[in-house]
Every structure is written in structure tokens, then in C-alpha cells.
Amino acid sequence: MINPINVGIILSNRYRIMQELGHGGFGRTYLAEDIYRFNELCVLKEFAPQVQGSYALQKAQELFEREAGVLYKLQHSQIPSFRELFHVILNDQGYIFLVQDYVNGKNYRELLEERKRQGLLFSEQECKMLLIKLLPVIDYIHSLGVIHRDISPDNLILRTADQLPVLIDFGGVKQVAATVESQYGQQNGASIAATRLGKVGYAPDEQMQMGIVFPHSDLYALAATVLVLLTGKEPQQLIDGYTLTWNWRSHCSLSGNFGEILDKMLAYRPGDRYQVAGEVLQVLQNPIAPNLQIPATIPPPEFNTQPVPPISPLPVTQTPNKFAPLLSVMLVLIVMVGMGGVGWFAGNYWLKNFSSSNSKKIEQGKPSEQEKQDALRDRLQKLSIDGNFFVKLVDEIFYAKYPELGGKALTKEPADRDWRDRWYQVANNLLNRLENISEESRKRLGNYDISDINRWKVEVNKLNLSSRALYDLADAEFFYLFPDQPRDLNLIDLEIGQIWQAITTDKLKALQTGEKLETIKFSAKSSSKKVSEKLQPGEGKAYIARLKKGQTLQLSLDNQGKETWLSIYTPGNTQKSKALLEDSPKVNFSAQLDDTGYYEFIVVSRATSPIAYELTLNIE
């Protein structure tokens, strides 16, 4: 049957179809504009139950309305709000549509495929943060008696606005569709068998075989989703077909505690699983101290005495607690358990009053580890950087830089001495980079959160700039300091993301003071304007110019052959704001403008040496 729902059609005299987002066994999903709400975007989920007769259609409507009532009571910032349910007849076929808020972002299936194309996967730390941010949402729906039934990478969206995971596509409505077709549908004169909801491999066996669901059914699916993100493999590739157990350890390496949590969530027997989301969240946030055993040390490779290359601060798996190298093993074990577990350096950092200030030098003519530690502590104090945060950040970078360690805890033994030296090198190299950030912003490292991002958006909009312009300037410096950091990775949940937020704070202040923002004004007698600037590596500057719809803009950037990136953003007053250029190496641009207001021009340097440029705008 030909689909009667085409782009541009208006349903229920209200919803204009913009595009089809996808389709499944019970209908299609569309992106639409709500013309009653200033063309606000929303999502329409279509259900076209294959039933015959007005009675069957009426019962289908009643069942859908009952389930819609369940969705209506879900009021959570990480669940798209349900708006309404409506019924239309198209080409003598009855359709039921569920209307929900549109979530701008990519689902985790898309994010995973993007990473796989680049040879990357999700890290343990990212997956832990995903669980920590999503488990309260799942606990919320369970408290209202709602089971999602269909958690998978496809049904989790990383929202662009705040980088929070959003839970979509609840299975209850799809279960209603299955029930309707099984009870009232006819296919070749025979009743259609009831459909079990859930994706193979993601849903536990009792759900797939008998349709039985409990809160721990969602927890099973969530753990399966995490393993798919960690390994890049589908559940069928990770489950032993004979024993029905998950064999994921040959595909990824996790810290013992996290691996055990996932195993319990994925237990075959329902009674062996965590029963509620709060249990999982509690053990993730307050893990029981593991057995502190010193692993057998492996002779380190030949120590590289050359200058340390740029650190590759990729997200890595969280590592076991590391021990203070200058204290006896027994003292460290007692203190570490009492402190709840901190980093190897942090153990010494906070136990400095217990360590000997007269420890012997490792080698004649070289500073002892105590002297290295004291020097590092002094730098931290001078730079006003929190020691606890700094240790976690160095650990994140250190274990990414040396994956051959596999997260092995460093000991005080001579065999680990070279590794400890490298840890100090990573730490000092990092401090050299943090010196580029203002003291005020450095003081807040470890304490930035999403509220800062929301505040920046408000403040930068007051300058007739978008947050994209601010982020362009911040990215320029961040990726100059950390060139190996992937540009498509979500930094906010990582320790290194705190550095990006500190840099962004500085860039906002530079815009507010006018240091990195200039307004281009044309005189009454001239339609051309030229501005010039000098930039250091990683620096950038923003320009705004009030232009009119219908004008032709011609731009040229003379960068003296140096590498620059240019972005041009429209005002978004009468047309939706868009990027005419974004992070482009182009130096010439021409276009007829379709909006009136302040246009944004962002120039950033990607050169490794200072650069001077001239920017010329011509308006016709």
C-alpha cells in the first residue's frame, strides 16, 4: 500500500510533516512542525493497526489512549514530553499518531558507528557516566509503574543542548499495537499471533519468550547497551549460544568492580540481577573497597629520555587505586582504605605530614621522588589547582598514554620506578599547559558543570553572538593545547572536559571585555570595510556586523598563507540560524543574505606560529 503521508502534508490541521525519521513494525516516525506553536519541531509516531471494522478500530483507539495516559504522567527532563494522541483517516485507513517533543541530538547507535569508522569506541569512564546519568531516569519511570521494555543504543539520544542522555521510544505503545493486531487483526482469515516486544540480545530471555517484564528487565537491556558501546559488537556476538552467558572479556578490559556490576545486571536468572535501578546507582557511586593486592610487576620498557611528546588525553577506563610510593605497603593500605581510595599521587599528597622529608635520592645527581612530589605540590599551590582533581586528570591521561599498563596499579617497588617517573612527567607537562588558563578559571577546575554552559549561552547572546561562536574560540585553544584529543568526542563527562570549560570561561570574558570581539560598521559613503588582527597559535577573534536581507556579502581573508579556520553564522531572526561556513579553510566567500540582523564572523588560527591577517567585507 502506498504511504499517503508525504512531506508537506498537514495532519489534524496542525502538524506539517517535514521528513520521515524512521520506520518499524508498527508504523513510521516523522519530524513535524506544530503550526499552532510557532512551527516548533515535534515528533509524530504513527501506528496503523491492521484491523477491520469500526468496533476493532474503536477498541484500538481506547487501548492507545490508555497507554498514552501512562506516557502523559511521565514528567522528566530526560524523557521527551508527551503532547497528545490523535486519530485520522487517510485513504480509508485509520492512523493513530502519538505526538512528543523533538530531541535534537544523535542516538547512541549513530555515535557508535561514527566512532567505529575512526577506530574508536566508548570508554569505561564514558559508560559509567552514562549509567550514572540514566539510572535516575529509569528509577523514576519504575517508581510510576512504567517499564521501558526496549532500551538499546537506538533508543537513547545524546541531547545536543546539554549533553545528557534522553530515553525515547517506550515499548508500551508498541505492545498495545501488538495486542491490537493479535486480538482484532486478521491476516488471511487467521488471528495474528501476539508479538513479544524487545530487541534480540538486549531483552532478557523471559521477556522475549514469555513477554514478562520487571524493572530488572530494563537494567538487563541497559547493561547490554553498555557492552555494545564498549566493544562495538552486537549482543549476539557476545553471548555464548550454549551457556547463554555473556563472554565480553575477550573484547574489552574493564576494572573489576565495573565488570562485576555489568555481569550482575546481565545474570540469566532474574533473581540474580539487581532488582532496582537505585541498587546499581549506589554501587557505582559508592563501590565497596576492592581487595588491595599488589599485582605482579612487569619489567618496564626502556625509559625514553627524550622530551615527552604531546599527551594524548583520550578517555580511558577508570583505573584501580594507586599506592603512595614512598610509604610502606602496610601504611598505604591502611590509609587508602580509610580515605575511600584515591590516586597514587593523591595518597602522598594528602599524607605529606607522614612521609619522611629526608628520603634518599634514587640516583646520585637526580631529584628524589620526595623532591619531585614537593616540587609538584608547590606548582599546584602556585597555580591554585585542586590536588584531588589534578590527580584524577593525570591518571586519565597517564593510562591513556600507556595502555600497555592495562590500568595496573603502580607500586613502590623499584620495578615501577620508571613508570612513576613518567607519571610525574605527564603531570608536569600538563601543568605547563594549564598555565595558559587564568588563575580564576583554574581555581574552579573540577567544579564546572552544565549550569556553567547554560549561563554562558545567556551571557554570550547579550553580545549578539551565538554560543557556537564562543565554542569556536574555546575549541581553537583547547585543541592547540591538546592536539590529539578527538574533536567529535563528548568532553563534558571527562576530567579533561573541565579544562575545556575553564578555557571557555576565559574566552567569554575576553568577548565581554571586547578583547576578542569587534563590531564592524560601514560608513555612509562606503560599502567596504577592512579589519586586521594578529593572533598567537590557538587564538581566535569574533566579529559581528549588522546586515540586511537581500544584500550580497563578499568576504576575503588574507592570512598570508597561514592556516586559519573561518566560520560565518546567520542571525536567526526571521530564518532559523545556520552556518554559512563552519570551521572552513576557505578565504573567500560570497552569498546573498536571507535574514536581517547581526552576522557572526569567527577567525581562528590553526598555525603553529603567530599569524597576521586582514579580513575584508564588501556589501552590495
Please tell me the distance from the alpha carbon of residue 433 to that of residue 426, in angstroms, as a whole number. Answer: 11
C-alpha cell at 108: 547512541
CA torsion angle for 330, 336, 342, 343 (degrees, to 10)? 0
Nearest CA to 481 out of 444, 443, 536 is that of 536
Please tell me the distance from the alpha carbon of residue 557 to that of residue 579, in angstroms, as a whole number. Answer: 17
Q: For residue 497, how many C-alpha atoms fall within 13 Å in the half-sphere facing its CB?
A: 18
Strand-strand pairing, 517-519 and 540-547: parallel
Please tell me the distance from the alpha carbon of residue 46 to that of residue 491, in angstroms, as a whole number. Answer: 36
Beta-ladder partners of 519: 544
CA of 530: how far to CAs of 354, 463, 549, 610, 616, in Å? 64, 21, 21, 20, 4
Q: Which of 34, 150, 475, 506 is catalytic?
A: 150
Q: What letter would DSSP give residue 53?
A: S
Q: What letter would DSSP give residue 271?
A: G
Q: Which one-letter amino acid corresponds to residue 475?
A: D
**Spatial CB neighbours of 607, under 8 Å, sequence gap ≥ 6:** 537, 562, 563, 564
The answer to whether residue 150 is catalytic is yes
C-alpha cell at 358: 629526608
Q: What letter would DSSP give residue 102?
A: -
Q: Please state the length of the chain.
A: 620
CA of 293: how far to CAs of 253, 333, 413, 504, in Å? 18, 9, 14, 41
Q: Please return the burial class of 597, using the count of CB atoms within 10 Å of its CB with bins 0-12, 13-18 and 19+.
A: buried
Nearest CA to 111 out of 122, 100, 102, 103 is that of 122
C-alpha cell at 415: 620495578
Please tell me the distance from the alpha carbon of residue 532 to that of residue 513, in angstroms, as a whole number. Answer: 18
**Spatial CB neighbours of 543, under 8 Å, sequence gap ≥ 6:** 517, 518, 519, 520, 531, 600, 601, 602, 603, 615
Please tell me the distance from the alpha carbon of residue 396 to that of residue 403, in angstroms, as a whole number. Answer: 11
Residue positions annotated with a catalytic role: 150
